[in-house]
Amino acid sequence: MYLIDYHTHTRLSPDSEAPLAEMAQAAVRAGLSELCVTDHYDLLELDGTPAAAPCDWAPAVEQLREAQDAFRGRLTLRLGLELGSAPFFPDKAQAAVDRPEVDFVIGSLHNLTPEAGGGDFYFVDYQTPETCYACLDNYFGSMLRLAPMSCCDALGHIIYPLRYMNLRAGQNVSLDRYRDQLREILRLAVHNGRSIEVNTYNGRTVDDWRPVLALYREVGGELVTVGSDAHSPENVAKGVREAYELLADTGFRYVTVYEKRVPRPVKL
- Residue 29 sits in a domain of what CATH number? 3.20.20.140
Which residues share a beta bridge with 8? 37, 230
pTM value surpassing 0.85: yes
Q: How many C-beta atoms surround the C-beta of residue 231 within 10 A? A: 21
Which has the closest alpha carbon to 157: 139, 179, 172? 139
What Cα–Cα distance (Å) separates residue 10 from each residue in 37, 40, 77, 226, 232? Answer: 7, 9, 13, 18, 7
Positive or negative CA dihedral for 256, 34, 235, 151?
negative
3-state SS record for 26-60: HHHHCCCCEEEEEEEEECECCCCCECCCCCCCHHH
Instruction: Give, for all 268 residues of the chain, the pLDDT tens digit.
Output: 999 999 999 999 999 999 999 999 999 999 999 999 999 999 999 999 999 999 999 999 999 999 999 999 999 999 999 999 999 999 999 999 999 999 999 999 999 999 999 999 999 999 999 999 999 999 999 999 999 999 999 999 999 999 999 999 999 999 999 999 999 999 999 999 999 999 999 999 999 999 999 999 999 999 999 999 999 999 999 999 999 999 999 999 999 999 999 999 999 9
Of the candidates 181, 176, 100, the residue with the CA atom closest to the CA atom of residue 146? 181
The residues facing 196 across adjacent strands are 155, 224
Kindly give the pairing relationship between strand 254-259 and strand 262-267: antiparallel
Tally of domains within the chain: 1
Residues of the domain holding 34: 4-267
Helix residue spans in 49-166 (DSSP H): 58-70, 90-97, 129-146, 162
Burial of 141 (0-12, 13-18, 19+ CB in 10 A): middle
Residues contacting residue 56 through CB under 8 Å, at least 6 positions apart: none
CA 17, CA 143: separation in Å to the nearest integer? 29
77 close to 68: Cβ distance less than 8 angstroms: yes
Does residue 192 contact residue 199 with C-beta atoms inside 8 Å?
no
Rounded CA gap, 56 and 183, in Å? 35
Give the dihedral sign, CA 7/12/15/20.
positive
Centroid of chain to Cα 105: 9
Q: What is the pLDDT of residue 147?
A: 97
The Cα–Cα gap between 89 and 182 comes to 23
In angstroms, the CA 216 to CA 234 distance is 31
CA distance 75 to 78: 10
